[in-house]
Amino acid sequence: MSADDVRRVWDAEAPTYDQAPDHGLLDPVARAAWADVLATALGPASLRVVEMGCGTATVADLLADLGHRVDGIDLSPAMLDVGRAKVARHGDAVRLLEGDGQDPRPPDPTYDAVVCRHVLWALPDPTLAVERWLRLLAGGGRLVLVEGSWHTGAGLRAAEVVALLSDAGLDPVVVPLTDPVLWGGEIVDERYLVTAEVARPG
């Protein structure tokens, strides 16, 4: 599927995307649960974060609530339009930019953290994507991935992501995300968080 095809698919999804319980996080309890997941993954310090495939900016919005400054990148203009309305209250603490998560060209050369939720599995070359994301952590930092291997047959198993990151020289840590509150109900598949620290030079 070409980038234009992908863009059209997600543009069409934008008006209703947030209606899914784990997309818009409209339930305050679910939203608080995801805030806890992200706060634990990133730690208490205020960070400069880039989110790949930010979609309607639900995660970017949460990250800003946690005190981080966020650049969100997504291929879909329609998704970003929904997201901009959502994060407007944060002012310049959140910037949403049209771009390709696999080949990001964010405004800053380096970040303290790269965050990605449910995007790595859908990219044409996950290995290349991670390689490029790590360049944005050249000064050290943290890679935070939320992924899954879903009952539909799509996705990546945790072992696949661990292998990919290990091959990149990282030491990934996996945390299962099994709490039904995160997903709007019980799950029957594999959903998880992976974090990896990038060493600072010298």
- pLDDT tens digits, residue range 92-110? 999 999 999 888 999 889 9
Which residues lie across from 50 on neighbouring strands?
71, 114
**pLDDT class of 202 with cuts at 50, 70, 90:** low
**pLDDT class of 1 with cuts at 50, 70, 90:** low
Give the model confidence (pLDDT) of 178-189 as tens digits: 999 999 999 999
pLDDT higher than threshold 80 for residue 146: yes
The better pLDDT of the pair 42, 140 is held by: 42
Cα 140 to Cα 160: distance, rounded to the nearest angstrom: 23
pTM: 0.95
Cα 161 to Cα 1: distance, rounded to the nearest angstrom: 23
- Give the mean pLDDT of the chain: 94
pLDDT higher than threshold 80 for residue 2: no
The better pLDDT of the pair 137, 151 is held by: 137
pLDDT score at 201: 76
**pLDDT class of 34 with cuts at 50, 70, 90:** very high
Task: Name residue, tokens 């992501």.
Answer: 161
* Domains with residue ranges and CATH for the chain: 3-198 (3.40.50.150)
**pLDDT class of 26 with cuts at 50, 70, 90:** very high
CA torsion sign, 89 to 90 to 91 to 96?
A: negative
